[in-house]
Structure 1
Amino acid sequence: MSLTDKAIAQIRELIRTGALPPGSKLPPEPELAAQLGLSRNLAREAVKALAVARILEIRRGDGTYVTSLEPTLLLENLGGAVELLQGDSGALRDLMEVRRLLEPAATALAATRISDEQLSEVRRQLDAMRAARDDVERLNTHDAAFHRAVVSATGNDTLLALLEAISGRTLRARIWRGLIDADAAERTLEEHEAIYRALTTRDAALSQAAALMHVSNTEEGLRKHLRDGSLPEQGPLETGR
């Protein structure tokens, strides 16, 4: 480990043990450096690195604070990393494999917990997808919202943050472009319909099967595009998540 890495580990340990709980203010830089036996430069570099990771927040003129440490905040960087992997076909396949492992199980859990109000939101996003079937940007937006609504129903924020991170906006848009070009968008919309219908029954096994069918078909389509070299490139709409 470099000296900076060791300094980062020391501050992380203070947070892990509760010596610096979420929302707490760090001591001033000279005091922090002395407490940890570090030079001020090392303490400063460690704080900057932890701020980039969203573990610390530097408030100009006020000080440095431990963030809320909520999963959605800490996993933002994972989503950014996923966006950087879009040109790596092996990484794309790995991401889809992870999604196939997680999303069907999440959908099964959602089926046992989803409220009528949450189910209505899933339906609303499904209807919006159908209305936007010829508009990749809108399809992409409502597709992401559909899956977010499903996974949100689990009540597990960490699971939601993980799945949102590995299903980046750029990858979704590229897949939708490929589906539209291959006239396969209607089939994919039907797969979303099947997930919704399964959720209305509150049947975990049926919901898991519907989600597995959808994710597996999407994964196979991605693999085909990668083999053929036909996966659409990133377009102008895909400048953020």
Structure 2
Amino acid sequence: MTGNQAQRRFFRSTRGRIVALLSRQGATVEELARELGLTDNAVRAHLAALERDGFVVQRGERRAAQGKPAYLYELAPAADPLFPRAYLPTLDALLELLTEQLPAAELERLLRTIGQRLAQRWRANEQSRSSEPLSRVRWAVAVLNELGALAELEVGVEDLSDCSGSQARLRAASCPLAALIPSHPRLCLLVEALLAELTALPVRACCCCAERPQCCFEIDLITEH
């Protein structure tokens, strides 16, 4: 299922319809129930789930002409990615144009530079200054997961006490650039450069760029002296 298909499916669900209604303006339980043809309790259950996921928040109250004030629900900033955006087709078109107009070596240099610049957003973190190579690798895995990967180090690497001359392999079942990798496999170089910049270690991409891409990077755990 593509991202757009998943979004359409979500917005056909009751919770998706609640999110769509709240995107227009804040609403009370009673107002949402009336729009959706549901009971107040059913709406409260869905709102509780959306609040738990961080998509909806309570903001103040709305006073009715009669009766008690009702809580007003609004969308939280975390709900923004639920809505379709033009980022993906725009980036795809940009990469197609760059691939057509730039020599391969220049395109690869550009992608590596982007990866290095992206890493700068995290380089101020204390973990980036750790003298332990494996600590920096673990931290880089956390950064990659923050970007949407489901990354982990291969079994056995975590138990290494002397990293000199050893190698770690990072695998991710979910690639953060999965929608673009099949058409633009050179994007793996961007992530390779990101990891190299974060860890200050040699990194080599060994990714699977098939229809469902999976990240794989080999990292040399060289201890500095």
Give the TM-score, by structure 2 length: 0.42
Q: Comparing both chains, which one has the higher relative contact order based on Cα–Cα distances under 8 Å and sequence gaps of 6 or more? A: 1
Which has the greater radius of gyration?
2
Greater per-residue strand proportion? 2
